Structure 1
Amino acid sequence: MTSQPLESRGLDRARDDRPAPDAGDSILIVDDEPEMLSFIERALAPHFARVETAADAGTARTLARDLHFDLMIVDIRLQGSESGLALAREIRDRHQVDLDVIFVTGYADVYDESDALRDASADVLRKPFLADQLLAMIQRARERRRAAREQALIQREHDRRPVAKRIVGESESLKEIWRTIHRLAPMPSTVLIKGETGTGKELVARALHDLSGRRGSYVPVNCGAISADLIEGELFGHLRGSFTGAHQARNGLFSHADGGTLFLDEIGEMPLPLQAKLLRVLEERRYRPVGGNQEIPINARVIAATNRDLAAEVLAGRFRKDLYYRINVVDLRVPPLRERRGDIPFLAGYFLNVLSTELGVPNAALSPWDLEQLMGYDWPGNCRELRNVIERSLLLGKPVAHLLCVTPPQAPGASESDLGSAGPASLEQVQRAHILSALAAAGGNRTVAARALGVSRKTVERKLKEWSQPDDVSVAD
């Protein structure tokens, strides 16, 4: 080893008074060169709560088993047949999945292992290096981890929001869906959710899981988004060496959903050969990883969803009849938005409130003309399309009616918010638009809207009942 990393200026600059990367962290250093091990330890000891060293992989395994570490600095090539890459993966998998890793190496051909390094999600520092270089790399690694942790917290907070806060509306058909969800949630039976794209099928699936009492994870998978060559391995996992490129064993989604729920979205896209294997898993409650000989028992509830007519797909020979009957124990239909127009103001107000917060832009009230156009549009993309229109409106600062390519009628001296078609608006049109606008501004809260309008809640409810379709429902993506 050269003397450059041990120059006093390298250590002196590492001991200055600047803030430490994260003084509460604990670090494990693994290197079979005594001088390098000592250099890194002395460079980092003033900055971190604990710095442990290991001159070989066995000592590192023992330390990782007994102590928690936030960061591991490891030489890529250790003595003997041990690999720093393999050691880092092993410690991550067995003990510390959130462990950050920085690899050090003195070999110029390290980039021959670039695929493995990318898989390890780690940084590489070439020897010789200064203490400052190492501290800067540690700082970057910690900042990435903090950002990832913050994003995970945001996502968890979103996922923890009660399902009732994300399924918006008070119509009779929505109440019927909720009654069905509560009745089916504790049961282990398979449920098939039917509906057009964007109607909110996954929210229904998530509600079934959240109310089931199952302690395992909710694991969604879009069967149409994974190629036919990969979907079997994604669902059932594979053993090491089971196919070209399978350098290590991998658990499948069925394994991750054990004790919980596996949501198979767009199951109509599943290839026919895999449909037969899925049928066997559903009937026997056991699966076999790709390349494996032994079957593994599974306790995962399966919920499927489709935007296709599976009965027609069966007749056309594109979907197995036996699998169709097996997953269609109970079916739950989510109607398209055009069949539940009375809930559009509730959804529009909800999306305005949520998206204005997420985007950091001012909330915007919907004009009576905007609401009329929203109510009159057919929404082929359903709730997802409505959300996208609201988001574009907030981003561009344009009325939603303009984004629907609808031009509001203009009479001489009339403002854009005036109602009208070919002639003056009827009293009923004006009243309807005014009430719907108040509801949207109140985020769908009828009591708040009624107070703003100066009428009773019963008056608002009576009017909504007059305007609603019999099968209205409001489920939002």
Structure 2
Amino acid sequence: MSLNSNILVIDDDREMRSSLRDLLTSGGFQVETISNAQQALDTLRQKQFDVILCDVRMPGMSGLEFQQLLKPISKVPIVLMSAHGDISMAVSAVQDGAYTFLEKPFDPRRLLGVLGNAAKLNQLTLNNDRLKERLSKLTGLDKILIGESEPIQRLRNDVFDLSHVDSNVLIIGETGTGKELAAHGLHDLGRRASEPFITLNCAALAPAQFEEALFGLSDGTPGYLDRADGGTLFLDELGAIPLPLQPKLLRVIETKEFTPVGSTETRKSDFRIISAANEKLDDAVESGAFRQDLFFRLNTVMITLPPLRARSDDISLLYTHFLNHFANSYEIDVPVSTAEDFSALMRHDWPGNVRELRNVCERRILMARRGGGSFASALSGAVDDDKTYPDTLREAVAAFEAQLIAKAIKSSDGKMDDAAQMLGIGRRTLNEKIVKLGLNKSDILEKT
């Protein structure tokens, strides 16, 4: 039971309120009693409690009616009690969201246990809500976790859940998907948040320098393991760790002990390892370039970051975010997006992922500072500038639809059911779009 938890007791019987106050106070609760449900609703709009204990049968407003009116006001667990209860009432109360239902007279020990557990549940819910709010506001992390697509929602949930544990995490993803930012999220939401987050880019060190950089020197020069004590060591480009050093790193992970280069003194470091690699790490394990036992030690939990092309629904949201961010940074107005910009944005397959989109948006703002440019030109030749674009967004969307439909008709050799299936729409919808767009099936099939 949570000591000093606040409990609101609602009962029209004065003697019952007094008895419950004495019992719950002796059990470690801070208690406030109220005689009717309407007054309780008014109180709950002004004050927070950890759990509510409410009688069912009261004049004016019953406990079940109070429970319904409480939902838009508070998520505090409610325990209902009645001397006239029955099974159907209990089932109805719990199905409507009550924490549980107690029938009078009840065992005082059971009552204290139920209320204590309900108070703990409320505290856990509040803590989770606070952590989720922190997650949404993290500097850097929010820039990579923007979006409403299913892959990005799963990623947000994974980062939130795994931040609470101390297991090693391996983050797999293409270049530019935001592996380091996800690692920061895992650190910033966990118990080590106030301790160091140390990044070691394994590909940036020459093999001869790696051991000294990791373990430090006998003259007292600290290595990455020393610097990460108490916090998180982020190993980026994991596959670049020199093979001869991998057994030593494996031992450090298992024992949290290491010896600086040139020293005989064993040192300890309490760190969590988060590592990142591209999808080719499996090939390195298979070829023997990366030790399988080290791989298994580091991938206790694995997160895979989605490439931008797998969450195309988020592209426009990211585009708007980055344009506004850089316009604010460079102190200029956000340039107006044209149909040409929209077409270029949606046609590009973004091999560099979110990092590429971010850089292109920054170039677009820099061009706007000089009084010109377009999103297409900011792509630096990735878009065919010889093509002409519609003048309006509506025309651009229509042209894009016409292009997709024509491609599907050609690919299906004019079989409209097959074309509709390829497009993911019904045959009737396809026919309506063909008429609306003024397309001719014969003309499409005749074109090479």
TM range (shorter): 0.5 to 0.7
**AA aligned opposite 1:400:** F
How big is the shift at 1:292? Answer: 1.3
- Counterpart among 252, 257, 273 of residue 302 in structure 1: 273
1:454-465 → structure 2 map (5 Å cutoff): none
Partner of residue 156, structure 2: 178
Partner of residue 205, structure 2: 226
- Counterpart among 170, 184, 191 of residue 213 in structure 1: 191
Say whether the 8 Å CA contact 2:171–2:304 is kept in structure 1.
yes
- Structure 1, unmatched stretches of 5+, are 1-158, 241-248, 430-477
Say whether the 8 Å CA contact 1:187–1:212 is kept in structure 2.
yes
How big is the shift at 1:309? Answer: 2.2
Q: Distance in 2 between matches of 1:302 and 1:365?
A: 44
**1:406 maps to 2:381:** no
CA shift in 2, pair 1:361/1:230, >3 Å? farther
1:26-45 → structure 2 map (5 Å cutoff): none
Say whether the 8 Å CA contact 2:140–2:181 is kept in structure 1.
no
Of structures 1 and 2, the one scoring higher in RCO (CA 8 A, sep 6+) is: 1
Partner of residue 217, structure 2: 238
CA shift in 2, pair 1:314/1:362, >3 Å? same
How big is the shift at 1:359? Answer: 2.7
**AA aligned opposite 2:344:** Q
Q: Distance in 2 between matches of 1:167 and 1:313?
A: 29
Partner of residue 329, structure 2: 358
Partner of residue 462, structure 1: none
Q: Deviations over 1:302-352 (max 9, x none)?
A: 000001422211111110111011111111000111111111111111111
**1:194 maps to 2:169:** no
**AA aligned opposite 2:367:** L
Q: Deviations over 1:64-88 (max 9, x none)?
A: xxxxxxxxxxxxxxxxxxxxxxxxx
Partner of residue 276, structure 1: 247
Q: Distance in 1 between matches of 2:310 and 2:328?
A: 29
Count of residues in Structure 1 that have an aligned counterpart in Structure 2:
260
Say whether the 8 Å CA contact 1:199–1:382 is kept in structure 2.
yes
Say whether the 8 Å CA contact 1:408–1:416 is kept in structure 2.
no
- Cα RMSD for the two superposed structures: 2.5
Q: Deviations over 1:199-227 (max 9, x none)?
A: 01111100000011213111111110111
Q: Distance in 2 between matches of 1:237 and 1:212?
A: 27
Q: Deviations over 1:383-425 (max 9, x none)?
A: 11111111111112311123333337438xx64867449x956
Partner of residue 100, structure 1: none
Partner of residue 233, structure 2: 262
Partner of residue 104, structure 2: none
Q: Distance in 2 between matches of 1:322 and 1:236?
A: 21
**AA aligned opposite 2:180:** E
Secondary structure of the structure 2 residue equivalent to 1:229: helix
How big is the shift at 1:296? Answer: 1.1
Q: Distance in 1 between matches of 2:352 and 2:243?
A: 28
**AA aligned opposite 1:228:** P
Q: Distance in 2 between matches of 1:384 and 1:342?
A: 17
Q: Distance in 1 between matches of 2:386 and 2:392?
A: 7
Q: Distance in 2 between matches of 1:425 and 1:271?
A: 49
Q: Deviations over 1:443-467 (max 9, x none)?
A: xxxxxxxxxxxxxxxxxxxxxxxxx
Q: Distance in 1 between matches of 2:345 and 2:140?
A: 27
- Counterpart among 287, 291, 298 of residue 316 in structure 1: 287
Instruction: Name segments (4+ residues, structure 1) moved above 4 Å.
Output: 423-429
Q: Deviations over 1:87-144 (max 9, x none)?
A: xxxxxxxxxxxxxxxxxxxxxxxxxxxxxxxxxxxxxxxxxxxxxxxxxxxxxxxxxx
Say whether the 8 Å CA contact 1:369–1:408 is kept in structure 2.
no
Say whether the 8 Å CA contact 1:193–1:333 is kept in structure 2.
yes
Q: Distance in 2 between matches of 1:319 and 1:177?
A: 27
Say whether the 8 Å CA contact 1:409–1:420 is kept in structure 2.
no
1:321-470 → structure 2 map (5 Å cutoff): 321-397=292-368, 398-402=373-377, 403=379, 404-407=382-385, 409-410=387-388, 415=391, 419-420=395-396
Q: Distance in 2 between matches of 1:424 and 1:205?
A: 41
**AA aligned opposite 2:374:** P
**AA aligned opposite 1:254:** L
Say whether the 8 Å CA contact 1:218–1:257 is kept in structure 2.
yes
Q: Percent identity?
A: 39
Secondary structure of the structure 1 residue equivalent to 2:247: helix
1:49-128 → structure 2 map (5 Å cutoff): none
CA shift in 2, pair 1:283/1:420, >3 Å? same
How big is the shift at 1:427? Answer: 9.3
CA shift in 2, pair 1:367/1:173, >3 Å? same
How big is the shift at 1:181? Answer: 1.5
Say whether the 8 Å CA contact 1:167–1:203 is kept in structure 2.
no
How big is the shift at 1:195? Answer: 0.4
Say whether the 8 Å CA contact 1:410–1:416 is kept in structure 2.
no
More deviation, 215-224/167-176: 167-176
Secondary structure of the structure 1 residue equivalent to 2:302: strand
CA shift in 2, pair 1:259/1:292, >3 Å? same
Secondary structure of the structure 2 residue equivalent to 1:224: helix
**AA aligned opposite 1:224:** A
Secondary structure of the structure 1 residue equivalent to 2:337: coil
**AA aligned opposite 2:164:** P
Q: Distance in 2 between matches of 1:424 and 1:349?
A: 23
Q: Distance in 2 between matches of 1:420 and 1:294?
A: 68
Q: Distance in 2 between matches of 1:177 and 1:289?
A: 37
More deviation, 388-397/327-336: 388-397
Secondary structure of the structure 2 residue equivalent to 1:186: coil
Partner of residue 72, structure 2: none
How big is the shift at 1:428? Answer: 12
- Structure 2, unmatched stretches of 5+, are 1-136, 405-448
CA shift in 2, pair 1:291/1:344, >3 Å? same
**1:168 maps to 2:146:** yes
Secondary structure of the structure 2 residue equivalent to 1:340: helix
Q: Distance in 2 between matches of 1:196 and 1:418?
A: 34
